[in-house]
Amino acid sequence: MPALKRGIRILAIDDSFKRGDSEALVIGIIGRQGLIEGAISSSTKIDGTDATMRIEEMVRRSKYSSQIALIVTNGITVGGLNIVDVCRLNESLNLPIVAITRKRPRVTALLAAMRRLDDYRHRAALVRKIRDRISIARLQGFYIQSIGISPKAAEKFMPDAVNLLRATHIIASGVAHGESKGRI
């Protein structure tokens, strides 16, 4: 993968849904150097298994698809326990993926939450595969899980990535709830 330079287009992805919904809204905001340049959206089943496919489709159908150089997400799940296979996204889109969270990722807590689901073994295997292939680091007050880019290389994009992820969260939350709430 070529070295990424400042000023690249970043796609930030977050979701929002209300209790009782069957689907979650997935919003993507494209921007660079502090400017929002576009928005894309999709939906995914709550606690489903379609998140990776939906995000991949959302990116591919976007007029920005050839210009996106980095994807950032709010963790590795959307729509509750719908796992984003960041390894598959990295391979299929040929883009580095960085999952950003405030709290340290806890695989054991995620596995415990998924135990009630029918396909627990499949999901657990997916989570373990992701865990084994990603790098985890603490950068600028956040934890990042990255694939296709080293934590050191990702660090120079953190301010733009976090700001875009915040904007994405505010928009998704505002659309789903009528008013934004929470923080990344």
Q: Measuring CA to CA, how many Å separate 109 from each of 52, 76, 121?
A: 21, 13, 15
Global confidence as pTM: 0.93
Domains and CATH numbers, the chain: 9-177 (3.30.2170.10)
pLDDT recorded at residue 19: 85
Q: What is d(CA 23, CA 15) in angstroms, rounded to the nearest whole number?
A: 10
Burial class (CB in 10 A: 0-12, 13-18, 19+), 136: middle
pLDDT recorded at residue 3: 57
pLDDT recorded at residue 2: 47
All residue ranges of the chain with pLDDT < 50 are: 1-2
pLDDT recorded at residue 6: 64
